[in-house]
Amino acid sequence: MTDIQGCGTALVTPFTKDNRVDVDALKRLVRWQIESGIDFLVPCGTTGESVTLDEDEYRQVIRTCVQEAGRKVPIVAGAGSNNTEHVKHLARMAEAEGADAVLSVTPYYNKPSQEGLVRHFTEIAGAITIPIVLYNVPGRTGCNMLPATIARLAQQVPNVVAVKEASGNIAQIMELFQVRPAGFAVLSGDDALAFAIVALGGQGLISVVSNIIPRETSGMIRALRRGDLEEARRLQYRYLNLMNLNFIESNPIPVKYAVSRLGYIEEVYRLPLCPMADANKRKMDQELEKLELIASRV
């Protein structure tokens, strides 16, 4: 079974100026990420604007990542919705396109009970043979999956192997460490909290900022996992402002702007997302210049 640990990038989806998936740019991103030491890739998540992809595009993005990665790293495809049957459909498509695992967010808007979450993810798990990474991000879904629920799924469903924890609640995450079964991976879903979560016992990070600095982000997680807290701390504080700037507006608006400034993609979004305010662009540019990721305009 695929081992999902270390640093994974929640990939942006590049679009052309005429609003098609930019396959060539996506291939470049995948190659750059792998060459920079990323441990796994996560296409078609929130950062990948998955809710605006039609089914053909969804397949195309996963297929492109699988083919370009060439089994060098696992591909963990996003497959989430607030309709259980639709998630099963997406998960089957991801498996058919060669994904090594799926990342599935808690249902949004419906506000299911904890029992409803157990039934939802158990149904999805039964529809595929590849592993599932649960995704808890109550700030975007309005639904918080509690540690006991995660532990129950990990114990009862063999292909539930990990969780991307983005609740922002360190006390809740520590409780999860106490109740999770052996071998179940806890991955930070917040760049700024990854140091704390991995230091407390987590197995890695699914990152937004690694779209911009893949070598440095994966280097921080490797340093943490080998116990080099001094090096990990250095990287955490050097890039902390960049991590926070990625949420100055709704993700993935700032990170796509930053990656476009690096020259890898066009700055194109799909509605209802739109370009970042000019004042926020200037803040991002200043940070990228400070970090010497782009040339200074001065």
The answer to whether the Cα torsion of 104, 169, 147, 201 is positive or negative is positive
Catalytic residue among 58, 135, 257, 269: 135
Domain that holds residue 223: 6-232
**What is the predicted pLDDT for the residue at 298?**
55
**What is the predicted pLDDT for the residue at 295?**
85
Q: Which one-letter amino acid corresponds to residue 148?
A: A
Whether 148 is covered by a domain: the verdict is yes
Residue % of the chain over a pLDDT of 70: 99
239 is catalytic: no
What is the arithmetic mean of pLDDT over 137-157?
96
135 is catalytic: yes
**Number of structural domains found in the chain:** 1
Whether 102 is covered by a domain: the verdict is yes
CATH number, domain at 150? 3.20.20.70
Catalytic residue among 88, 164, 256, 281: 164
Residue 280 has pLDDT above 60, yes or no: yes
Whether 246 is covered by a domain: the verdict is no
